[in-house]
A and B are shown apart, each in its own frame.
Chain A
Amino acid sequence: MASSFSPGGPSRPRPGYYPPSIANPSPNPSPASSLPGTMQNLQIGRPSAPSGPPPFLSGISASASGGSRPGPPPQSLPTRPQFQQPPAMSNGPPSIGVSGPRFPTQATLREPTPTIPTQGSRAVPGSSSAGSPANDLVPPSIYNSSFSAPAAGVPMAPPSLVSSPPQLHSLMGGQPSHPLAGGSPSQPLAGGPPSQPLMGGPPSLPYMGQPQMVQYSGMRQPLPPSGAAPPFGSPPVWQQQQPRPGVAPVSSMVQAPPQMFGAPPSPFTQPRPLTPPVMGNSPLAWSHSSTPSTIDPNQIPRPMVDSSVIVFNTRQGNQVNSPPPATSDFIVKDTGNCSPRLMRCTMNQIPCSGDLLSTSSMPLALLVQPMAIPNPDEEPIQVVDFGEIGPIRCSRCKGYINPFMKFVDQGKRFICNLCGYSNETPRDYYMNLGPDGRRRDAEERPELCRGTVEFVATKEYMVRDPMPAVFFFLVDVSMNSIRTGATAAACGAISQAIADLPEGPRTLVGIATFDSAIHFYNLKRALQQPLMLVVPDIQDVYTPLHTDLIVPVAECRQHLEQLLESIPSMFETNKVADSAFGAAIKAAFLALKPTGGKLLVFQSVLPSIGTGSLSSREAEGRTTNVSSGEKEAHKLLQPADMTLKTMAIEFAEHQQVCVDVFITTQAFVDMASISVVPRTTGGQVYYYYPFSALSDTAKLYNDLRWNISRPQGFEAVMRVRCSQGIQVQEYSGNFCKRIPTDIDLPGIDCDKSIMVSFKHDDKFQEGSECAFQCALLYTTIYGQRRIRVSNLSLPCTTMLGTLFRSADLDSLLTCFLRQAATAIPTSPLSQVREQIMNLCVNILHSYRKFCATVSTPGQLILPESVKLLPLYTLALSKSTGLRNDGRLDERSYWANHVASLSVSLAVPWVYPRMISIHDLTSKENNDPILSSILPLSSANLNDDGIYLLENGEDCLFYVGNMVNSEILQQIFGVTSVDGLPTQFVLQQYENTFSKILNDVVNEIRRQRCSFLRMRLCRKGDPSGMLFLSNMVEDKSPGGLSYMEFLVHVHRQIQTKME
């Protein structure tokens, strides 16, 4: 599993015929088909007509006709070029793809080749630890001379290079059989018993309904006839409603060569001979090696993409499988553990002791995304209704019944897997045990066989009736907001977005505008027209009416549309420059007080007046003494005062108001202070800077629409429980915490992720399992109270090597990212960067020290599972948030965005995806386009090329200065680079090129659940510099190149070793 990488790496024969552009498929982003189905909503704004108004304007007709929604998903899995004919493979031994057994997952169930496949699937843990320690180790010498050995191209694993078979394979040109064989078979076979339900087979339990999010799609259908009980039956028509293009149907899955997640095939099968620098610990060694310039950058670890769909069984037999990369496309079969989308741990084996954990230097944390959108091909989360008695719980720790609770004493008692307490089985719940010691009904009861279930909450779980779905919009109408078109954009967006709200009586809306006063609107239907009610007192605000400000959407649609249409003109001549943001949200909050709900604020300028007003700290920071200003710069990332925080806590704790803020500005708004509100209330910030009415309107609309239509819950409380031995240390994310054990989430949606870190307070027995249970009590948008319980039970280990093998890179990265975000408001930037680098170095050092002792000191050895850690660390240290040159607001936004970012989006956020698009038409078909990503190095940018770079939020088009004018004409509708507009709207023209490009962009949007902010960057322009600042592998004024960084890391490790 450990991949040793030697920067002075083996020079292997490399045919080098394959184009560099696709030379680096990333193991992580394999996004092609893993988009959440609901994301297609985001597509609405894209008119199919190539020309025309900003997308949102056409959105009305589009949404009405549904025309712009993406069509139903393809009925068959797209071809899988990566597998069948990746260039990397073609040179290797005949067929990796065909030799599927290496990557058995579900497929093994159909074609049991149990030994090898299961072995293979556990190759990560299995290959090394016990078996041959040598395999973990890097060969003694990787000096230049040693490169000759691999250069021979022998498809074997030279001990000098690799320990982990997959890694070996990836480096050595893909010799599948060898690593498999080499993997130690000593571990018990997973032996996926054929008795387990087959994928695609009907669930053995009647469909009890899908999670509420399905219903949200607008269909409240009667129960499926088989729906035994719960009234929450959701339509079995998920796919029709929420088609997920690009996702393969189940049937094709079986044929698909499964992939192993831990180590996707590397494209570097035929590395070109290179002379990388020696990571020697002596300067001499360095100096007499080749200069860095001669290193082939392609040689070093880079993310790779695999767009094939993977079927992932969370558990097989009694074994836990490591989850596939977060960005890859996979279908989860919940066989006891919850989907990794819902919970993902930084390590897939839990260290038995705290010492072991601290030795590894890795954090033990769980990334919980409780409402994550499942793949539509996954079995929906089942709803269990225990009736009056409510869900069965451990009477001591209150943990919920789950598959890992052990029934004993003929089923009369059960032992809690969290606290170990032996409970009496309630009489109604009693069932005999079978010969295997399990309850006879275990397979029929979702709560006993599924990692995730939803329980219907009883009255005990409610302090009041479940709240209705309330959406309150608050729009800035101060002078600047009007002039920049932000108000018009917001009103347009709201007007269209509410069209998609469900009509039911439980969906309520309200609207208010504000400048130096707050204007509410009485929308009651009886009135001939809306009534404007101004609250002028912004020091001591109040809501002007008790009722009628928030009314069922069905009753006020017409009024609301009329009103939204007239707001921009009504305030056209507004001369009030002040904006009372704090007072406005407070007033809206008071209006929301009886129910709670979502407050969506559109803010355009610095809140300058009234409660919670802010000052232009950025300017102040600049004008004060430079030296002290620099030192204290991070303080500007802290909220200016406690006013907004106090307010936000009140919102969250007492009234269940969740605030989302859309900042459409062209100046400083003090994001650090404003963002406190959404962070505390479980909301989020959207940032459009510099706001352009032309290019941002569509995104604003799509963001808003997704915000209100995505699967979400209200008035939620979440708690994570874990087995005795460890305890929750801290929660991090967007929430409010009243008591240490629980977090309050006035709003929770599918995009929000919460990190939970743990510490040991005891030791685990080797061979035992450590369980995590996340319980989310929430109200669905249809007003049902539910408890979603997700369980993850992971084996414990005493072996450091195992620990490293089971490390989850994506989770670790997310964890680092959050640590960095937490640190930047409190420490100087340089210190934060150092801290992050130290985290990386410490991990690698630990591995080097304890797991790779045999290797020579001159090598940089990377554990296979985290071989990309240095790259990500470097990228992170160069990210907007940690760069010295970032604007205050941007840095603050970055930190905020990160705070709730899911694992799958964290990866591109740190290491964006870049593809070339000038050669789109020459690529064979659409699918691999997103796989053929380019390393983020300016060496990959050609003057005649056009490149697209996206990080899940922004989408930058880089146009070289010598681009073929025909291509320009086809894509952008201009003939020369100079004709490119500064404000950019991607349009679809009547040509294949444009169409493909739009398809690609739409595909990205689906994957990222984001509409993406499009920007054009031209070489030689400031915008070009912006693009180049994303080239994290380059040497930059503020940082090292990737190569230099590896050397740097290596030196650090060396220093520590001494």
Chain B
Amino acid sequence: MTEFVDLETQDGVRMTWNVFPGTKQEAMNCVIPAAAIYTPLKPIPNVPVLPYAALRCRICRSILNPFSIVDYAAKIWICPFCFQRNHFPQHYASISEDNLPAELFAQYTTIEYESVHDAGPVVPPVFLFVVDTCMLEEELGYLKSALAQAIELLPEKSLVGLITFGNYVQVHELGFGQMPKSYIFKGLKEVTKDQILDQMNFFSGKPKPAVGVIAGARDGLSAASIARFLLPASECFMFYMYGFPSRYLSDVLEELQRDPWPVPADQRASRCTSTALSAAASLLGVCVPGSGARIMAFVGGPSTEGPGMIVSKNLSEPIRSHKDLDKGSAPLYSKAAKFFEGLSKQLVHQGHVLDLFACALDQVGVAELKVAVERSGGIVVLAESFGHSVFKDSLKRIFQANDYDLGLSFNGVFEVNCSKEVKVQGIIGPCASLDKKGPLCSETVVGQGNTSAWKMCGLDKKTSLCIVFDIARKDGPDAVGQSTNSQFYFQFLTYYQHNDGHMRLRATTLSRRWAAGSGSIQAFAGFDQETAAAVMARLVSFKMETEADFDPIRWLDRSLIGLCSKFGEYQKDSPSSFSLSPRFSIFPQFMFNLRRSQFVQVFNNSPDETAYYRMILNRESVSNSVVMIQPSLISYSFHSAPEPVLLDVAAIAADRILLLDAYFTVVVFHGTSIAQWRIAGYHNQAGHETFAQLLEAPRDDAEGIIKERFPVPRLVICDQYGSQARFLLAKLNPSVTYNSDAHLRPGGDVLFTDDVSFEVFLNHLQRLAVQ
């Protein structure tokens, strides 16, 4: 499988089938769809950045690439996608076999262009904080200090704005020097752009133009009127009030009060999250349309007011659960989801990102907000409290500039070009369709489909899109006119605003091969089990959200059985004869764990949590997705060096320390003996340095995981039989349960579950696959 990882390192792409099934029918038989998971901004060493504009094909607009056929004499290149012959322009005149431009070098299948000429002035990024104030004093204190810290980390050039909300929305006019000033909007109805223009004094006495969309400095708004709400970060700190210098924004933050509206004991606080977000979107739409801006929403509880409310204020009404959603007994859900769908359109149109930091014991409405966050490419962090490290450290990571920074970029547009026989069904991932229809679009639509261009308002180094392909190649008599070439090509183009402010274009051009014949034996070789698992996870999540009465378990099982039937080696009706090639061997295990994962077994989670997990899944790379599906488990003991062990309850032993990485949580689990030793303090005693090291090792490794992961996972350190141990136990294969026959090893553990174990699952699979 390493070859796939190598390919990923080179281009940021992993595909389920690296050799495509040769025909549409064949692809159907292969069960797992042809799909690619592409990380557009994956840092790739040695990618050249060309200081000129890319050369495009006249017809299909694809970009000159190493797969183009170049006629050096005639100064002509042939586009590999549409076979159009293009003349090189004047500045390529010196091109020759010995003098190639970088984009034609075979190794530069991924290359970047940064054309300084046609770029406008560098626009500073904008951060608009939208802060909930309906929370406990303590929580608000945590949040304030986290924000204060974040603001200090902001790039100096960037612009900052602040909106707070509770019962009402408060848009703070930071540029008003005399006293803290804010505009108050009622929480009940959304705040439109026109309203912002009219009511927030943008025309300052001048008559409002009668027609036309007015927004931004380019459309006639004075810079001063914009600067009232968006202040350079560097200016946030020194301000004169009543003659005394004062740290303005920090003061406003410091003085943030809990929402003062009284909350009856039997009611939830009145919280107009949706209105605040619509006000934020409209404000940005007025002030900085089209340039990179993030709305960072910090929400501490359920939205109970306005169009996006998820639950009524009455505490006797519980917040919707998955069950309610399934039964359709969550009347507010669809209304809210619709509202946020509209908001997402507005954000995408303006090119702005919505980030969501939801910290509450209750649900806050992430499920409803998901659409807006995901389409705009925003970040989402879900934690129990603003004081929790999951929130605090994640927030810090966003602004911290170091090796692990997120490389936040704005205003991305993603385009795909493929050879004719390949169509695109759509993308599952943080992007929004730009509705650019063309021959490339498949009739079948998955995720954001029916287009060949997508908007990615926000993207970062790790943002990964899952592009699902449709194979249009046909066999036999229908195949007339098809290229006989067994090679075909993809080109992924990503325009984005680099975090230095300039616009860049990253082009990745790939070539893949058709599997010849109908045997699919070649396709077999190109199967990437990890990618397949990640794609299946995204697909099943997508289907669960969009298809009514979809049975995910059944669908996954059938897919797995289908795959095994096709690619397994067995004698019909003889389960014992069944075997899988190593190319497929761990896929059933992925599927087993996917069936048990939070993505499929939603009933253990709230809709908010599910939405959160899925949003993260949909933006993560293959390897991280795999960790989410099937956590990794490492054992530390005196007997051996740290080694990966099976994700099985049998891995538990009294003298072991286990490190579970379930992506969202990292668990350090001490066996009983270890725990007793630690409690006795042996690691502090001379002569027990090895024990100290043993204790230290998993924690160091956990730190390592946490350091490079975003959102920062929750670290759980627990002891066997402790209550926190459930974080580990829930993930383990229940090979030993309370009613299993297997005898209990000393120091081992028992799971109190009726779930089937992997062994049982596999037996069934074998039985069904061979039928």
The reply to whether B255 and A527 contact each other, CB–CB distance below 8 Å, is yes
Interfacial residues of chain A within 498-528, with CB under 8 A of chain B in the complex:
516-517, 519-520, 527-528
- Which chain B residues border A562 with CB–CB below 8 Å? 242
B723 within 8 Å of A (CB atoms) = no
The reply to whether B185 and A530 contact each other, CB–CB distance below 8 Å, is no
- Which chain A residues border B184 with CB–CB below 8 Å? 520, 533-536, 542, 544
17 sample A-B contacts, Cβ–Cβ < 8 Å, listed by A number = A516-B199, A517-B199, A520-B184, A529-B179, A529-B241, A532-B179, A533-B184, A534-B182, A534-B184, A536-B183, A536-B184, A536-B199, A536-B201, A544-B184, A546-B167, A566-B178, A575-B204
Q: What is the bound-complex CA distance between A566 and B241, given in angstroms?
A: 11
A578 to B, closest residue via Cβ: B205
Q: How far is the CB of A1020 from chain B (nearest CB, A)?
A: 41
Q: What is the bound-complex CA distance between A536 and B169, given in angstroms?
A: 11
Q: What is the bound-complex CA distance between A788 and B198, given in angstroms?
A: 51
- Which chain B residues border A577 with CB–CB below 8 Å? 205
Most B CB within 10 A of own CB, among A519, A520, A529: A529
Q: Quick one: which of B195, B205, B251, B260 contacts A537, CB cutoff 8 A? A: B195
Q: What is the bound-complex CA distance between A544 and B164, given in angstroms?
A: 13
The reply to whether A533 and B178 contact each other, CB–CB distance below 8 Å, is no
Query: Assuming A529-B242, A535-B184, A546-B261, is B201 touching A576 (CB within 8 A)?
Result: yes
Query: Assuming A533-B170, A534-B181, is B204 touching A576 (CB within 8 A)?
Result: yes
Query: Assuming A542-B168, A546-B260, is B186 touching A533 (CB within 8 A)?
Result: no
B245 within 8 Å of A (CB atoms) = no
Interfacial residues of chain B within 189-227, with CB under 8 A of chain A in the complex:
195, 198-201, 204-206
B570 within 8 Å of A (CB atoms) = no
B176 within 8 Å of A (CB atoms) = yes
Q: Quick one: which of B167, B176, B255, B262 contacts A528, CB cutoff 8 A? A: B255
A540 within 8 Å of B (CB atoms) = yes
Q: What is the bound-complex CA distance between A725 and B180, given in angstroms?
A: 65
- Interface size counted on chain A using CB atoms at 8 A: 32
The reply to whether B261 and A530 contact each other, CB–CB distance below 8 Å, is no
Q: Quick one: which of A534, A547, A569, A570 contacts B183, CB cutoff 8 A? A: A534
Q: What is the bound-complex CA distance between A536 and B204, given in angstroms?
A: 13
A479 within 8 Å of B (CB atoms) = yes
Q: Quick one: which of A517, A540, A547, A566 contacts B260, CB cutoff 8 A? A: A547
Query: Assuming A517-B201, A545-B260, A546-B262, is B251 touching A528 (CB within 8 A)?
Result: yes
- Which chain A residues border B204 with CB–CB below 8 Å? 575-576
Q: How far is the CB of A521 from chain B (nearest CB, A)?
A: 8
Interfacial residues of chain A within 563-577, with CB under 8 A of chain B in the complex:
563, 566, 569-570, 575-577
- Which chain B residues border A548 with CB–CB below 8 Å? 260
- Which chain B residues border A528 with CB–CB below 8 Å? 251, 255
Q: How far is the CB of B469 from chain A (nearest CB, A)?
A: 50
- Which chain B residues border A237 with CB–CB below 8 Å? none
- Which chain A residues border B241 with CB–CB below 8 Å? 529
- Which chain B residues border A527 with CB–CB below 8 Å? 255
Q: What is the bound-complex CA distance between A528 and B167, given in angstroms?
A: 23
- Which chain A residues border B170 with CB–CB below 8 Å? 533, 544
- Which chain A residues border B183 with CB–CB below 8 Å? 517, 533-536
- Which chain B residues border A536 with CB–CB below 8 Å? 183-185, 195, 198-201
Q: What is the bound-complex CA distance between A905 and B614, given in angstroms?
A: 79
Most B CB within 10 A of own CB, among A545, A548, A569: A545
B181 to A, closest residue via Cβ: A532
Q: How far is the CB of A527 from chain B (nearest CB, A)?
A: 6
A531 within 8 Å of B (CB atoms) = yes
Q: How far is the CB of A560 from chain B (nearest CB, A)?
A: 13
> Which secondary structure dominates where chain B touches chain A?
loop
- Which chain A residues border B168 with CB–CB below 8 Å? 542, 544
Type the 1/0 row for A311-349, where 1 means its CB is closer than 8 Å to any CB of B.
000000000000000000000000000000000000000
Type the 1/0 row for B242-265, where 1 means its CB is closer than 8 Å to any CB of A.
100000000100010000111000
Interfacial residues of chain A within 844-887, with CB under 8 A of chain B in the complex:
none
Q: What is the bound-complex CA distance between A548 and B258, given in angstroms?
A: 13
The reply to whether B186 and A542 contact each other, CB–CB distance below 8 Å, is yes
Q: What is the bound-complex CA distance between A577 and B179, given in angstroms?
A: 22
- Which chain A residues border B201 with CB–CB below 8 Å? 516-517, 536, 576
Interfacial residues of chain A within 336-391, with CB under 8 A of chain B in the complex:
none
Q: What is the bound-complex CA distance between A575 and B251, given in angstroms?
A: 28
The reply to whether B186 and A540 contact each other, CB–CB distance below 8 Å, is yes
Kindly list 9 other residue pairs between chains A and B, CB separation below 8 angstroms, not including A531-B182, A546-B262, A576-B204. A479-B205, A516-B199, A528-B251, A529-B242, A531-B180, A536-B185, A537-B195, A544-B168, A576-B201
Q: How far is the CB of B598 from chain A (nearest CB, A)?
A: 40
Q: How far is the CB of A627 from chain B (nearest CB, A)?
A: 35
Type the 1/0 row for A614-646, where 1 means its CB is closer than 8 Å to any CB of B.
000000000000000000000000000000000
The 10 A-B residue pairs with the shortest CB-CB distance, nearest first, are A575-B205, A536-B199, A544-B184, A532-B181, A534-B183, A546-B261, A531-B180, A570-B178, A575-B204, A542-B186
Interfacial residues of chain B within 128-173, with CB under 8 A of chain A in the complex:
167-168, 170, 173
Query: Assuming A527-B255, A575-B204, A576-B204, is B260 touching A532 (CB within 8 A)?
Result: no
A549 to B, closest residue via Cβ: B260
Interfacial residues of chain A within 263-279, with CB under 8 A of chain B in the complex:
none
B182 to A, closest residue via Cβ: A533
Q: Quick one: which of B179, B195, B198, B260 contacts A530, CB cutoff 8 A? A: B179
Q: How far is the CB of A951 from chain B (nearest CB, A)?
A: 40
- Which chain B residues border A575 with CB–CB below 8 Å? 204-206
Most A CB within 10 A of own CB, among B176, B183, B198, B200: B183
- Which chain B residues border A519 with CB–CB below 8 Å? 181
Q: How far is the CB of B179 from chain A (nearest CB, A)?
A: 5
Q: How far is the CB of B251 from chain A (nearest CB, A)?
A: 7
- Which chain A residues border B206 with CB–CB below 8 Å? 575
Query: Assuming A527-B255, A529-B242, A542-B168, is B182 touching A576 (CB within 8 A)?
Result: no
- Which chain A residues border B198 with CB–CB below 8 Å? 536
Query: Assuming A529-B241, A548-B260, A576-B205, is B199 touching A537 (CB within 8 A)?
Result: yes
Q: Quick one: which of B167, B179, B200, B261 contacts A531, CB cutoff 8 A? A: B179
- Which chain A residues border B262 with CB–CB below 8 Å? 546
